[in-house]
Chains A and B, each alone.
Chain A
Amino acid sequence: MLQCIFLLSDSGEVMLEKQLTGQRVDRSICTWFWEHTVSQGDSPKLQSVIASPTHYLFQVLREGITFLACTQVEMPPLMGIEFLCRVADVLTDYLGSLNEDLIKDNFVIVYELLDEMIDNGFPLTTEPNILREMIAPPNIANKMLSVVTGNSSNVSDILPGATSSCIPWRTTNLKYANNEVYVDLVEEMDAIINRDGVLVKCEIYGEVQVNSHLSGVPDLTLSFANPAVLDDVRFHPCVRFRPWEAHEILSFVPPDGQFKLMSYRVRKLKSSPIYVKPQLTSDAGTCRVSVLVGIRNDPGKTIDSITVQFQLPSCVLSADLNSNYGTVNILANKTCSWTIGKIPKDKAPALSGTLLLETGLECLHVFPTFQVGFRIMGVALSGLKIDKLDLKNLPKPPYKGFRALTRAGEFEVRS
């Protein structure tokens, strides 16, 4: 079981410590951890489980804040990691976003939250809606009140009813004047295009996001027109397994507000909506770069927010890159990003330029990978379609809204 949780700022400063069990963990472990991470190079992509000389450490990095948990005994490591992720989620939810100042400014709330979320190293209450009822999130009204009256309590006096209900994710006794529910399909396309320009892997990672504002305890049923395309699924705890096993229907009592109902994966797609063709030829200490971007398969809606990003190899001394459309930026860490936006009708966007290699190096033999970003509103590229959404247990029919969105996930083009 977890023994201690530390919150570290992006400079390695310990902002908070919360001891969980009788075995105190000295905060010097954070110093060890920080030196260890620094020695691993300045990459933020760190191992999530580290065995230090005295403790096993789990770490999750969110927005520059390191959530560090320590244990000395055997426990499922994913439990520690998932819990830290949950803490990060809840804090983001409470504070709006995550950064050093927000955590310091609201440290009392963070303490109270941590105390509710974990007891003796074992998660206690992690359901956001119960937490919200137990400990009030900081909001403007509260802040103003506390300034004026000099007195505020964010600790609730009563135990939220949901703790004893069989649907702990839903707040009891909700009432809305306007009942509405929105269902969004948000998809991310992962693709790998290898050096020969072949699409090696192309798949969709999608989420069904629901935003529900419904009174009482509604019972929803969501069905897809073509559930067969789904390769694998994961569900929010509210989804009942049986109907899905039998008929591939999502039957659930939703939590209140925004939540991720389900995530799914669609594998082995045949094509990508856009193409990116990089070409690097090197000779006599210089390297010519040219990148072409265009639409391969028109999805029927506009593709926007197109970006191409790549890391210049370390042997490149300087770069001179220009584009006929959009803007090119080279950052200090040798990351080059090309922001295109929408593809114009009249011309194909192209980036070209030369890279100067370090002295003595005739030609380039390591090649960067291009990360592509894009967004298409109104289309789910996996082809998944929502058939219908039925609602039961509601006094009057609510407003139902559906949307779809596809964006690039890990869309990589190798050169």
Chain B
Amino acid sequence: MSSITCTKLTLLTIVAVTIQCIGLSVFVFGFFPVKPVLSGYSGVESFRPPTCNGIENESEPSLPPDRLESLYRAVSEIPPSFDRLVFMVIDGLPAEFVLGKNGRPPSKAFVEAMPYTQSLLATGKAVGYHAIAAAPTVTMPRLKAMVSGAIGGFLDVVLNFNSQAFLEDNVLAKFFKIGWNMVMLGDDTWLKLFPGLFVRHDGVSSFFVKDTVQVDQNVSRHLGNELGRDDWKLLILHYLGLDHVGHIGGRNSALMIPKLSEMDEVVKLIHMNTVKNIENGKGRTLLVVVSDHGMTENGNHGGSSHEETDSLALFIGLKDHVYDHALSNYAQVSQVDIAPTLALLFGVPIPRNSIGVLISKIFDSLTDDKKLRALQLNSWQLFRLLQAQLPGLSCKNFPCEDFITDSGSGVSECNGSKEEMFCCLYLNAAALHDAWKTKVISRFNSTDSSSVIAAYHEFLKRASEWLSHRSTDKPIGLLVSGITAIAMSSLMLLSLVILIHKEVPPREEKHSLVYLKSWKMDEAFILLGIIIMVISMGSSSMIEEEHYVWHFLNSSIILIFIRKRLQSFESNSKHEYLNLIKGEIKRSGVEMSLLFLILFCGRILRGWHQGGVNWTNLPDVSKWLEQDGSQYIKLIQLTSCVLITCLGLFALYLMRYKTKVVLVVGFSFLMLGILIFQHVMNHQDTFASSSDDATLSIQIIYVTLGITTFAAVVALPWVKPMQSPDMCSRWISNKLTMLPVEIQNVTPIFEFKDALYMIGCLYVTFWCLLQLLLQQPINAMPVLLLFVQVLASMLTFSFSELHREQWVEGISSHSTFLSGLLMFIITYASPMLFYVSMVLYISVKDTVYSLISKDGNSGEVLKTVLGLSCLVPLSMNSVLLTAYTIVLLLMRNHLFIWSVFSPKYVYVCVGTASVYIGVFIVAVTVIYTYMVLLWRKRRKSFAFSSKQNGTLSVKLCISVLRRQSEDAQEKDHSVS
């Protein structure tokens, strides 16, 4: 028999957990690079060269908008070429449709569908680009990229979980600052991103994908009116129709051509208006037609294939000039380049975190010095960003001034480390620029600026590339080592579980060869369930509907338990050794009804919230209740409160003996129940929980709860009366006959179990009551149902011989709640409840048999009691964590990586943390209780045993020898 001591086990477990923590953090830091995002908004300082020490003067003059605009205009040295901007977003339009692909013009049908746009392109009045979008190619991140020039990292997703408003520096905020009036028509994503920025808006929702006509009419109906007005400076149009067409019928949908014609009409309308305005002297308008992403052949988007990332950027209304490049060969830019281009065109500072490079063709009409100035401004901005990302890029290593004088006008070779390279490239460009300036001043005629432009472009391109890779690339070595560590720890934990599981004497075999087959079926189902869970994590929709999966598995295993009960329903009477209890059939009946109760509660829990994505709109109980009004909810809440208190008392009463301690604990239940009842009665209607009265009552409840729990847990082992076995609670009295009296006298096993039972009841009941207070009122009933489930499963499993099955059952209550709840403590309430209920489980777990062989060594007892209970959740969680980490790594290019997989990973991580906390609490409680009781028992039995010492040891030896002769020799007798 492979044996493992308690200390060794503990040490191994702690080591495994530590490895897991380290691996997890390594993975998280590798997968979600924490890129230093510059906070705040860029201001006037972006028109000054970056300082050497990298510390900027953050003070932004709080000027009124018009003053600020003139200030910007003065310092930027580039006069804005346009007065107004029309920013037209055509959702999901691939650039291919307008510009063609690989040098070939678009297909004839598409050309004919957009005659006006194509004529603009042909005559050079419009410049088109393939603006390559970054993944994920879905609307909101792409809009953010276009206005801020930054590629959002994971933090973007996590930190903006609740507030959708876009808080990073962006072009729209700049425009708002200089007092532009902005109008938005179209997709209401803009309104969510920029609340309060628009003077007029008409948002349409993209929820109803089947509609391809109305969404665009809702935008275009305002167009005539808006174009006639001149009070706006920025008009944003966001047409969703084309994306919807794609979603319905793909690229070659019959609706595509009419939709393109419709878009062409809009472009024509706006451009005509622009031309008219110029003729009337009403100022120049720039029309920028962009698409946020492309689409695949089937009309889907989200991934990073070329079809999806190939989006359009079309600048219409630039000063007419002849283009030298061939018409069919449109350059490729990056989508993030739009932001700095727009910022420079309109003379506002480039957003801080922009990694874009200005599109130089757009600035071709400017004079050389203006063009160079634009490049310079962009370089300064990127250099600042580099300084933030590369702390080594401070000019301490490279004294800038010296360097400039050294290099002179010559171009030095740029190689070496990243820092050196960027510094060198930047300084080269700056030096060339300076040299060019002095030449111009001295000669008073234009000299060739192409080398300066090339130098700037070199720096900008390299810097932009590096920055964009930095925000998307993942260090693979770090990830792999993290995963290895996680996998290793989970293997360790699993092997520990198997080791311990082997040590638990296989009572099932001893008892019932009949059950053996079916017992294995449960185990097989649990393995199957774990495998299915792991596989289903690879599918985004399975993650979205995870709670249904959990419920399905949970109910299935309960059904299997019922089947198992049916197997032994009558056959027990044939086996004499089970005749200890007369009411065997009655007991089976009770078990069955408890299992049905669990099933029933689970089904109601499932029907309470329709979470997830697919079936969210179906009716559920909470929706009915909310429609019916708050009085029902309140009623349910009050009932739940009363019932939880009563059930807690009932659970205590099941102990079958009445001492003062039990009465005190019961009284504390009652008191808290009443307190919460009263709070709900008085304060739930008034949603202003800030009123002093309500706050006070909540504070009172918290304090009472905390003090009672702490005091009870600390004091219970001390005040618990030492009772003789016949006083013991009913749960273990059955097994008394099995245990030699001598061991009962030396180990405090019965007191231990009773104390744990009480503490467990206390934990569970208090936790439920606390949840009642914290959760939304509508969730009161689920709390009650969960409580009933926990109690019922406890009672069931106290009857039966199951060990592991219960864990799956318990863990699956995990996610019944994930639906519809918001905050950490609330989301993780039910898992915590489960871990807390572990105490209760330990108390009812049947460990007496193993105790016979272990003969009261305290380490062994603790190992038996705690080992499986703590290791099973740890190892299950570690398996899930490992599996999910691998899934996440495999799915890193998946469409929903940011919207589904990464948030789920956060949940998994937090779940891991809650497992740690739960296990820690359980372990501490159990060990503390045991130690105290053991100490008391020893002290008490000392006097008693001193006279009987000799006989006792002999008796003990005999009994042990009789039962476990092969083990008896190596026993460490705690008595002697």
Asked if A and B are interacting partners, one says no
- Which B residues lie at the A interface, using CB under 8 A? none
- Which A residues lie at the B interface, using CB under 8 A? none
